[in-house]
Structure 1
Amino acid sequence: MIRDFVPTQPPSLRSFRNSFTHAMVWVAVVVIAQRYCTPAQSAERPSRPNIVIMLADDQGWGDLRVHGNTNLSTPNIDSLAHDGVLFDRFYVCPVCAPTRAEFLTGRYYARTGVRGVSTGQERINSDEVTIADLFQQAGYATGAFGKWHNGSQFPYHPNARGFEEYYGFTSGHWGHYFDPMLEHNNEITRGKGYITDDLTTHAMEFMETNHERGKPFFCYLPYNTPHSPMQVPDEYFDKVANRPLKMHHRNPKQEDMPHLRAALAMCENIDWNVGRVLKKIDELSIADNTIVIYFSDNGPNGWRWNGGMKGRKGSIDEGGVRVPMLMRWPGHIDKRKVIKPIAGAIDLLPTLTELASVPYATKKPLDGQSLVPLLRGNDTHWNDRMLISYQPPRGGKGKTPEPRVSVRNQRFRLDAAGKLYDITADPGQNTDVSNRHPDLVREMKRTADQFVEELGDLVKPDERPFPVGEAPTTLLPARDGVEHGSVQRSARAPNCSYFTHWVGDPDDAITWDIEVSETATFDVEIFYTCAADDVGAEFQLEFADVKLTGKVTQAHDPPAYGGEADRTPNRGSESYVKDFQPMSVGKITLAKGRGLLKLSAFQVPGNEVMEVRLLRLSKQK
């Protein structure tokens, strides 16, 4: 159990008033002052280091100059290797939300409740302890700025997971990167400029504010690039648009050149922003007392040079889960050091808490281990270990869903099909050597089977409801809802989608599986669009036996946009966006308990009821 640290208070002086002389009181005051208030003691006490973690989204191991890719320039990220350490083989998960969960908890994501990347499957169970919880309880200012992707409603929201300050978006995908709709501490706001630049600006302001307050800070900066849509300012794209590219994927015919060039430009923009963060640290004169970490959440999101490794994002092969990892702390860890032993995102929580002397106590065991011995050169007795890469069950027609597991040790990878590869000699996983190492294959298979067995019910489909009422405001976006009848999503990927084609057929409805924490009355707003010819539709929101009726009385018909900023001809599964506006519907009293919150129409004078981006439920005081 984690307990807040309560500083010992000096004893009261009142007891001295009637029992001791004035002189004795004075002696007592001096003793107490020496014990609790001596400036020399405070000065000698080492201050805890600030922490800055920058996490790229879909940047592969090969997307850095320091790893040998001459197609792009990343001097600021590379400088972390020159001034600190570079992890040669660092492993994460094949997709976004799982990696974030492993970093936040120090545990394999499948143990934390995370099963996927959308519709609630990305949520970390509320009983998990996060790294932000620990640093916050240790007295740190904690802030996150960017793509959260581990739950939207309280208690899954970042403000409920140890981050007192949050600016960004909680989803996994976002449809537009310039002046986008974002949120600040659970309140909807509008970003300013290119999203990566904007997130960095807010993070730097957080760092500066808390440094001026004299408070150590834990700053988490999870970017959402080079994830699609492939959008980047002209000044970066123009640099790479016609640049000769010498480094290519092992099968160059698979390369999508517009996508590849856009990814390179987005990586160079990230590098510029990393430079801004490092410059701010220097300006604040805190470089020697600030740990800086940079890594990515999975392999590259397209076919491009990646050191000849097999696989990309979405794969549990080497190329899908090996990523960049650089770390610096001047004066505390070596410079220009390459750490060879394998490590992973699960190791960051135990490593950072040890470096910062932040206590960790929980009933849930960590899967990660502290890398401090490797950082400080005390690795004489460092033992080989096995790291697990996991994909949840994926059903198919006529198939029984089964999880897929790959196991990695320092030299070998056992893939999900049971084939063994010597990764150091064969990064492309071309030659199965399982017949040469039968004992190792059996041991790795046993490790994989035991891991799946330990997961138990966590392998089953996610049936958790979406909480309502845990915070003053609850946002229920379209991605967490279910469409019925003719209603459709604006895109295949739910994350940044909205509901459209609500034509008013008898079966048309939108539902959210919710659980109300306590009986309360809520003000209801729907973020909507509606063409002028469709104004007048009447609808109802119902939960259990309570109904709230409403009517669309004003047109709001903004265009869909986003594609004009794309650097690729096809944005794939990403949704276009619209500037939805809130429509006040009224008040509804929701009883404590679980059920379907259902939105349906009973009068449709036009072609469509409306398009729906999200519901906002504000609890009355």
Structure 2
Amino acid sequence: MQRMIFKMIQLLGQPTYEPVGATSRRFFRLPLLHLTMRLALSAAFVLLASLFRTAPLRADENDRPNVVVILADDQGWGDLSLHGNPNLSTPHIDSLARDGAHLENFYVCAVCSPTRAEFLTGRYHTRMGVYSTSAGGERFDAGEQTIAELFQRAGYATAAYGKWHSGMQWPYHPNARGFDDFYGFCSGHWGNYFDPMLEHNGQIVQGQGFLPDDLTNHTLDFISDHSGKPFFVYLALNTPHSPMQVPQEYWDRFSDKEIVPDPAAENAKKQDTPHTRAALAMCENIDDNVGRLLNHLQSTGIADNTLVVYFSDNGPNGSRFNGGMRGRKGATFEGGLRSPCLIRYPRRIAPETTVKSIGGAIDVLPTLCEFAGIDWESQQLPDRPVDGLSLVRQLTGQLPSGSSGERMLFSTWHQRPTVRTQRYRYHDNGGLFDIVNDRGENNDISGAEPATANQLAEKLRDWKSTWADAENQQFRPFPLGHPEATWTQLPARDAEFSGTIQRSNRYPNCTYLRNWIDTDSEITWDVDVLSPGRYEVQLYYACPQADIGSSVELSLGTETLNATISRPVESPLLGAADDRVARQEGYVRNWQPMTLGMMELTPGREKLRLKATEVAGSQVAEMRLIMFRRLP
């Protein structure tokens, strides 16, 4: 009902950002009705929507479980002592298997943003516009329905803390996707893990301490604040993704530790490295935070009725212990796709439950909804069916742990698609492997079992035919001025630039623009203004005292703002002192805002342009982002 009401509001003239049809990426706008009529009707529909949104789908609120989903970033299947890694200890994460269920054949995607899209929607990322991990390619279509929206409509309080990596501007922002509260960052990686610049519901804020600890603190506070109402909280930790930063006490455990390599793994001799030690130290920090969370649930008396899920977004981000599996992050072999998955729910899942059936990130939505009594099937969007299946019967012992029938799980990255059945994995290049007897994918049996190879090749071709047109996705603009958004951030990551200007690093996510030294160079964003409004516009920048005095101009359509950089922002590069390993990503600075002025926005697709009109010193400034704040 809420979706229907939202569509009706859109038809009343609000600028839309929905694709026409299942694969087309052309966007439409309908003529605006008389403003007074539109606002009156919109208010009526919003009132109805609020009534439906808060109406639970189950009569007994006390019987509905709370839900905590913990997602690690770049933690491989082998990065747990539960899975035989002799180099670290993860007793709190391991306890989830002891006290609940261990899913032995759980699969995600080869990299971050596709996994997040599949968990949030229950659908393959190939259907909804995710084609890269940065600069807009991480966004899944605005018309998709998320797990948070389903829980929110069922009366749950919802929150997301950590790495979002599924879009930065509304309608892709977490607050637009069903999360009442968001604290963290929306990019694919972050440049500093100690007291970093973050955002809280769109507004720039300062983090407190080591980022995974800070995110866990927010989760604990949210749980405490919502003990009288069912809640759904998504804790998306940012580690062990690089940069390899970790507090000293954890580093001291591993700095001189001799690493026992996985003898069956690729590059076994390369596993005893500072990168491996840092990753293991970060994993032990994660384990301590999981322990804090579990203790908090126990101390607040809600542990028995709280469903805790733990998994990771892809294989390990380095050569280290991974159970002898082939591949790591970025690969579509077992080592890149197999993830730990542990689920504890004392009221419904018996201790030490083992599930051998294949499952994946797409199954989390239907599984959690069924446990919570949410009828997700009737709420599926007609043109966007959920690909995942509920695993409740396997988790509660109603089906044998290895029962998956003829089920197949598909995945791809960089045009390397693969399909996994309960026994086999088939790759698009023709390779067929018996995973039950050859988890390391060492022996290609396609010649010995041609019928199986041919059958799976046909299934893979059928699946590829369902992919969205990723090429057209690259022409999607960045939305600005969504009617429900107060803040809209346009980072350097999403900008194009010309002349002398350079990006600070080849990995765009947390970068800034530098070498801005003349009036000919230009920074632009391809934006689509979604609704009219008046905005305060700020520039986040750094500029030494010797270079202040340059004048800049920001223009959009017929609107132009002019300002002079009069305040120095002196900041060294941050992060290097805390790195345990030399990083590939760029460093960051302590960015500060300056107000450029007020701008009236009118709907339409335009180029937002930033350039200098006068250069006072050796440079204009280093630019991190433009922030728009909607005024009343």
TM above 0.5, yes or no, is yes
User: 1:220: which partner in 2?
Assistant: 234
- What secondary structure does 1:455 align onto? coil
Residue deviations 1:122-178 (CA, integer Å, cap 9, x gap): 112111000000000000000111101101111111011000011111111101101
User: 2:628: which partner in 1?
Assistant: 617
- What secondary structure does 2:624 align onto? strand
Counterpart AA for 2:531: E
| Cα distance in 1 between the residues matched to 2:141 and 2:243 | 29
- What secondary structure does 1:280 align onto? helix
User: 2:47: which partner in 1?
Assistant: none
- Classify 1:76/1:4 alpha carbon distance in 2 versus 1 (closer, same or farther; 3 Å): farther
Q: Is residue 183–residue 189 contact of structure 1 (8 Å, CA) maintained in 2?
A: yes
Question: Residues 506-585 of structure 1: matches in 2 within 5 Å?
Answer: 506=520, 508-568=521-581, 570-572=582-584, 574-585=585-596
- Classify 1:4/1:77 alpha carbon distance in 2 versus 1 (closer, same or farther; 3 Å): farther
Q: Is residue 428–residue 460 contact of structure 2 (8 Å, CA) maintained in 1?
A: no
User: 2:48: which partner in 1?
Assistant: none
Question: Residues 208-247 of structure 1: matches in 2 within 5 Å?
Answer: 208-211=224-227, 214-247=228-261
Question: Residues 245-284 of structure 1: matches in 2 within 5 Å?
Answer: 245-248=259-262, 249-255=265-271, 257-284=273-300
User: 1:88: which partner in 2?
Assistant: 104
Q: Is residue 4–residue 138 contact of structure 1 (8 Å, CA) maintained in 2?
A: no
Q: Is residue 58–residue 227 contact of structure 1 (8 Å, CA) maintained in 2?
A: yes
Question: Residues 115-194 of structure 1: matches in 2 within 5 Å?
Answer: 115-194=131-210
> Aligned pair count?
570
- What secondary structure does 2:475 align onto? coil
| Cα distance in 1 between the residues matched to 2:486 and 2:617 | 35
The unaligned stretches of length 5 or more in structure 2 are 6-57
- Classify 1:275/1:549 alpha carbon distance in 2 versus 1 (closer, same or farther; 3 Å): same
Displacement after TM superposition at 1:331 (Å):
3.1
Residue deviations 1:192-232 (CA, integer Å, cap 9, x gap): 11000000000011011100xx1000010010000000000
Displacement after TM superposition at 1:526 (Å):
0.1
User: 1:608: which partner in 2?
Assistant: 619
| Cα distance in 2 between the residues matched to 1:43 and 1:343 | 30
Counterpart AA for 1:308: G
| Cα distance in 2 between the residues matched to 1:371 and 1:135 | 18
Displacement after TM superposition at 1:302 (Å):
0.2
Counterpart AA for 1:49: P
- What secondary structure does 2:469 align onto? helix
Counterpart AA for 2:389: Q
Question: Residues 354-393 of structure 1: matches in 2 within 5 Å?
Answer: 354-360=370-376, 361-362=379-380, 363=382, 364-380=384-400, 382-392=404-414
Q: Is residue 143–residue 163 contact of structure 1 (8 Å, CA) maintained in 2?
A: yes
| Cα distance in 2 between the residues matched to 1:98 and 1:496 | 19
Matched, 1:450 2:462: yes
Displacement after TM superposition at 1:589 (Å):
2.0
- What secondary structure does 1:359 align onto? coil
Question: TM-score, normalised on structure 1?
Answer: 0.89
Displacement after TM superposition at 1:500 (Å):
0.7
| Cα distance in 2 between the residues matched to 1:170 and 1:154 | 11
Q: Which moved more, 1:528-537 or 1:140-149?
A: 528-537
Counterpart AA for 2:388: G
Of 318, 325, 332, which aligns to 2:341?
325
Residue deviations 1:62-93 (CA, integer Å, cap 9, x gap): 00000011100000000000001101111000
Q: Which moved more, 1:243-252 or 1:352-361?
A: 243-252
- Classify 1:366/1:459 alpha carbon distance in 2 versus 1 (closer, same or farther; 3 Å): farther
- What secondary structure does 2:467 align onto? helix
Matched, 1:101 2:117: yes
User: 1:27: which partner in 2?
Assistant: none
| Cα distance in 2 between the residues matched to 1:264 and 1:547 | 51
User: 1:17: which partner in 2?
Assistant: none
Matched, 1:496 2:510: yes
| Cα distance in 1 between the residues matched to 2:269 and 2:151 | 47
| Cα distance in 2 between the residues matched to 1:256 and 1:532 | 45
| Cα distance in 1 between the residues matched to 2:369 and 2:106 | 19
Displacement after TM superposition at 1:461 (Å):
4.5
Q: Is residue 61–residue 230 contact of structure 2 (8 Å, CA) maintained in 1?
A: no
Question: Residues 325-364 of structure 1: matches in 2 within 5 Å?
Answer: 325-360=341-376, 361-362=379-380, 363=382, 364=384
User: 1:475: which partner in 2?
Assistant: 489
- Classify 1:2/1:522 alpha carbon distance in 2 versus 1 (closer, same or farther; 3 Å): closer
Q: Percent of aligned positions with the same letter in both sequences? A: 50
- Classify 1:383/1:2 alpha carbon distance in 2 versus 1 (closer, same or farther; 3 Å): farther
Counterpart AA for 1:485: G
Question: TM-score, normalised on structure 2?
Answer: 0.88
| Cα distance in 2 between the residues matched to 1:418 and 1:461 | 29
Q: Which moved more, 1:57-66 or 1:243-252?
A: 243-252
Q: Is residue 256–residue 303 contact of structure 1 (8 Å, CA) maintained in 2?
A: no
Question: Residues 32-111 of structure 1: matches in 2 within 5 Å?
Answer: 47-111=63-127
| Cα distance in 2 between the residues matched to 1:473 and 1:243 | 46
- What secondary structure does 2:63 align onto? coil
| Cα distance in 2 between the residues matched to 1:120 and 1:46 | 41
Displacement after TM superposition at 1:46 (Å):
5.1
- What secondary structure does 1:219 align onto? strand
Counterpart AA for 1:591: T
Question: Residues 282-301 of structure 1: matches in 2 within 5 Å?
Answer: 282-301=298-317
Counterpart AA for 2:297: I
Displacement after TM superposition at 1:256 (Å):
5.8
- Classify 1:559/1:46 alpha carbon distance in 2 versus 1 (closer, same or farther; 3 Å): closer
Counterpart AA for 2:505: A
- What secondary structure does 1:303 align onto? coil
Q: Is residue 260–residue 272 contact of structure 2 (8 Å, CA) maintained in 1?
A: no
Displacement after TM superposition at 1:429 (Å):
1.8
| Cα distance in 2 between the residues matched to 1:432 and 1:343 | 23
- What secondary structure does 2:417 align onto? strand
Residue deviations 1:104-138 (CA, integer Å, cap 9, x gap): 00000111221111101111211100000000000
- What secondary structure does 2:466 align onto? helix
- Classify 1:467/1:427 alpha carbon distance in 2 versus 1 (closer, same or farther; 3 Å): same
Cα RMSD between the aligned structures?
1.7
Displacement after TM superposition at 1:605 (Å):
2.5
| Cα distance in 2 between the residues matched to 1:386 and 1:344 | 10
Displacement after TM superposition at 1:424 (Å):
2.2
Q: Is residue 531–residue 603 contact of structure 2 (8 Å, CA) maintained in 1?
A: yes
| Cα distance in 2 between the residues matched to 1:609 and 1:447 | 56
- What secondary structure does 2:518 align onto? coil
Question: Residues 194-209 of structure 1: matches in 2 within 5 Å?
Answer: 194-209=210-225
Counterpart AA for 1:606: G
| Cα distance in 2 between the residues matched to 1:4 and 1:142 | 21
Counterpart AA for 2:348: H
